[in-house]
A = this chain, B = another copy of it.
């Protein structure tokens, strides 16, 4: 039962003070090369693997844990490929700094808010949520750094994500090229997730910022293509499922081009209407296989960058990149 060596043990073996060992690990530039080498050798020979984290936490107030606030049930987040890629990126960044992950659900139950309030973490990364989510205020009130993917923007919270409005405009322009009767199939407007078709809805009526931004971009593309937004049917799918895309498409039987909020919905649309021009979002493998025109972005990179910023490894969050993938759907000519 040999207990692990402490900093004091290393100091004794190296013939220096405990402080010199501490400095060697925390501010190596502050100690002389000779000290650094003595400490390194002593640590090696004793099998010392670095400062004990609990002690360091107690003294410094850092927890070495990152809080990740996901959707309602953790399982749902895992089933969403985009959220998953985001989480992978976060996990990767945590690995680099030996940081633990605390996965926190975000149902609207008070207990989830309490959990965030009291979480023993150094900061939070949130998955996009509704504009009026009380979680936003709670996260900020902890005084810890907070970063959210996809919005909403909120005072004190750093954003990571692409310019959804600009990307939606770009993919909309591509999708409407030869269209006479376009339509949109969108994510739900709010947490009620009601399936309904509305002509020319106000994007800002959506409490999901991502939904709102994409609608606004589509609207701009539609208007630039010479249509009146109020003539365009927008079907809000109750869930981001292929089957819902198909169901929506059947309600839009007279339309010749359909802009979709996700590849999943777009593939469903193609299932029901193989003839129609369709655009998706996210550049999934299935989208590539189906030849779908779509918006590509790396949620993995965004997760990694968000985590790095929260953990203090990175000073700034690099601008998230996106690109348009033009493929055979929609057909090049009508």
Interface residue from B57, B75, B91 paired with A88 (Cβ < 8 Å) = B75
Please determine whether A78 and B84 come into contact, CB atoms closer than 8 angstroms: yes
A92 at interface by CB-CB < 8 Å? yes
Query: Which of A30-38, A101-109, A168-176, A224-232 lies at the binding interface?
Result: A101-109
Encode A77-105 as 1/0 by CB contact (under 8 A) with B.
Answer: 01100001101100110110010111111
Shortest Cβ distance from residue A222 to the other chain B in the assembled complex, whole angstroms: 35
A323 at interface by CB-CB < 8 Å? no
A65 with B103, Cβ < 8 A, contacts A78-B84, A88-B74 known: no
Encode A46-58 as 1/0 by CB contact (under 8 A) with B.
Answer: 0001101111011
A124 at interface by CB-CB < 8 Å? no
Question: How many residues of chain A have a CB within 8 Å of chain B?
Answer: 36
Shortest Cβ distance from residue A82 to the other chain B in the assembled complex, whole angstroms: 12
Which B residues lie within 8 Å of A102 (CB)?
Answer: 94, 100-101
A95 with B88, Cβ < 8 A, contacts A53-B120, A57-B54 known: no
A309 at interface by CB-CB < 8 Å? no
- Which A residues from 189 to 205 make CB contacts under 8 A with B? none
With A49-B118, A65-B65, A98-B120 given, can you name 10 additional A-B contacts, CB distance below 8 Å?
A54-B55, A54-B120, A57-B57, A64-B120, A84-B84, A94-B103, A100-B100, A100-B120, A100-B121, A101-B102
Using a CB–CB distance below 8 Å, which chain A residues touch chain B? 49-50, 52-55, 57-58, 63-65, 74-75, 78-79, 84-85, 87-88, 91-92, 94-95, 98, 100-105, 115, 117-118, 120-121, 300
A-B pairs with the 7 shortest C-beta distances? Answer: A54-B57, A100-B100, A54-B58, A49-B118, A75-B88, A53-B120, A101-B101
